[in-house]
Amino acid sequence: MRFAFVFSSALCVAVAAFAPSVGAPSAGGASADARPTLARHGVAEGPALNETATNEAAARAEVLATLESWTRGWAERDAALAVADYAEDTDWTNAFGDRFEGRDALQEGLAFIFSLDFVMAGNSEGEEYADVRFLTPDIALIRSKLVRKGQQFQDGETRPDRHVHHLRVLERRAGEWKIISHLISQAQEKR
């Protein structure tokens, strides 16, 4: 738990909210992970389970939709669009350790990043995967990975493909999913 606090207090809260339920036995003796995700948190049991599954599918689609503004914002170099689904008090850290606290600071930082042609060189071929896990009915995690090809170093030399991982914590606020924490990491070649 200590390592999560270093990355983001919001992520730490999310991990703390999730940790007690992992592997806890249910009333029937099966592990909590064997039950549908939202039901594990008391949203529904028994006959209402089908409704919960429908609600979870809708919530999952809403959560994944937040990736669209980020992806389009990067493609169009539009910082305002990129941060459209971020909470005002978001906490964002990229793979190089740059941290921005608050949506306005993030938008300003991204505007600068988007102005750097060597950073914006190349393209990403979409998400290799985007996994959603609901910690509570109003807190979700998205783990995703993409491969960035053709990005350059500042001297113009082409970087090797970057395998970039994203971990986002979202909270449903006033009926809308907002990204409250976003941590980006990059897989390094193992030697």
CA-CA-CA-CA torsion sign (125, 94, 78, 168): positive
79-132 pLDDT, tens per residue? 999 999 999 999 999 999 999 999 999 999 999 999 998 887 777 777 788 899
113-125 pLDDT, tens per residue? 999 988 877 777 7
Pairing mode of beta strands 176-187, 86-93? parallel
Does residue 142 surpass a pLDDT of 70?
A: yes
The CATH number of the domain holding residue 47 is 3.10.450.50
Token pair of 119 as six digits: 């950073």
Give 43's contacts (C-beta < 8 A, 6+ positions apart).
52, 55, 137
User: Model confidence at 158, in pLDDT bands (50, 70, 90)?
Assistant: confident
Distance CA 161, CA 8 (A): 27
Provide mean pLDDT across the span 53-71.
88
Number of domains in the chain: 1
User: Model confidence at 138, in pLDDT bands (50, 70, 90)?
Assistant: very high
User: Is this model's pTM higher than 0.85 or not?
Assistant: no
Which domain range does residue 181 map to?
A: 2-23+30-187
Cβ–Cβ contacts within 10 Å for residue 89, how many?
12
Distance CA 91, CA 100 (A): 6
Token pair of 164 as six digits: 């970039």
**Strands of 162-173's sheet in order across:** 99-101, 86-93, 176-187, 162-173, 139-149, 123-136
